[in-house]
Amino acid sequence: MSTLILMSLLNGLTLGALLFITASGLTLSFSLMRVVNLTHGAFYMAGGFIGLSVLKFSGSWLLAVLAGGVVTAALAFIEERFLLRWARGNDLIETLISLSVAIIVGDLVLVIWGGYPRTISIPEALSGAVSIPLIDTIYPVYRIFTVGLALVIIGALWVFLKKTRLGVTIRAGVDNFEMVSALGINVKRLFSFVFTLSGFLAGVSGVVGGTFLVLVVGEDWRILTLTLIVIIIGGMGSLGGTILGALITGLIHSFSTAFIPQFSLFVLFLPVAIVLSIRPRGLFGKER
């Protein structure tokens, strides 16, 4: 195997890992609330820039990740509580409101941090490169860490959704919303919680992604597009579908960037077209 193919494979895996972290939040809020949160990309970018500033002040990368996540979680909470709830029940209006918030947040980020491309510096402990055994290739530690982080988040989400009471309630809400509200569960609070969690994941992925990709104005829409492609391919509301969709999107994007850079994003049209022709609700999506 040539080095280029091997590197593309590894880069695809790491991009897929990042896309999974981003998309997991979006698919969680979507499957429960039926709102495509178009603010997700803007939250990713805002989280990344907040992380950048926190890192500059405190010097701690871990703190930067937390700060990025917490601030975007707060933004998401405000958006859900004061804007989306206004139009509850009309999913199209809710989605359009999230689009307007995305434009506002995107421009505010431009005002605060400016239009120059920035990158968050890799923390000491994760810098450098190691040689991966078996395939004998040198690869950055940080990128391997990203895959590990994605695996941890997959595990955490799985335990949360399958084993905790709150998680079970959320899954029940995804499957049959009316029944859950009829059983006396406070659905408003549940929605707020899930949306906030989704914002938290977007912010965290912004800091994690901002450390190996570039943070620049316009990145919000690029990430949103990739995330939506992940969800279209994988299917809404399925953890397994999101993992598979993220891997497919990450790998195709990585290989096309290496071999046909002129069409690196447009090539993603193909998997979207193929999946939609065979299964309009995505590979793991449920027919409703």
Binding site for another protein (CB under 8 A): 34-36, 38, 83, 86-87, 89-93, 95-97, 99-104, 106-108, 110-111, 177-178, 221-222, 225, 228-229, 231-232, 261-266, 268-269, 272-273, 276-277, 280, 288
Task: Output 34 or 171, the one with its CB closest to another protein.
Answer: 34
For another protein, the closer of residues 63 and 93 by Cβ is: 93
| Distance, C-alpha 251 to centroid of its chain | 16
**Shortest separation between residue 163's beta carbon and another protein, angstroms:** 26
Of 172 and 272, CB closest to another protein: 272
CA 89 to chain centre: 25
- Nearest-approach distance from CB 128 to another protein, in angstroms: 32
CA-based nearest residue to 84, from 22, 46, 32, 33: 33
Compute the least distance from the CB of residue 158 to another protein, in Å: 26
d(CA 23, CA 40): 9
For the bound state, the minimum distance from the C-beta of residue 258 to another protein, rounded and expressed in Å, comes to 14
CA distance 253 to 263: 9
Nearest to 202 by CA among 38, 81, 8: 38
d(CA 229, CA 236): 11
> Tokens for 107?
């421009």
Pick the closer one to another protein by CB: 187 or 239.
187
Residues 6+ apart with CB under 8 A from 271: 229, 233, 248, 249, 252
CB of 2 or CB of 277, closer to another protein: 277
Q: Which residues contact 172 (CB under 8 A, 6 or more apart)?
A: 179, 180
Phi and psi (nearest 5°) for 215?
Answer: -100, 115
Closest distance between another protein and the C-beta of residue 20, in Å? 18
Contact call for residues 94 and 88 (beta carbons, < 8 A): yes
C-alpha distances out from residue 92 to 26, 173, 283, Å: 16, 20, 24
Pick the closer one to another protein by CB: 160 or 281. 281
Under DSSP, the state recorded for 137 is E
Closest contact distance (angstroms) between CB of 236 and another protein is: 9
Min dist CB 65 to another protein, Å, is 27
Q: Residue 2 or 116: which CB sits closer to another protein? A: 116
Look at residues 53, 28, 32 and name the one whose alpha carbon lies nearest to residue 201: 28
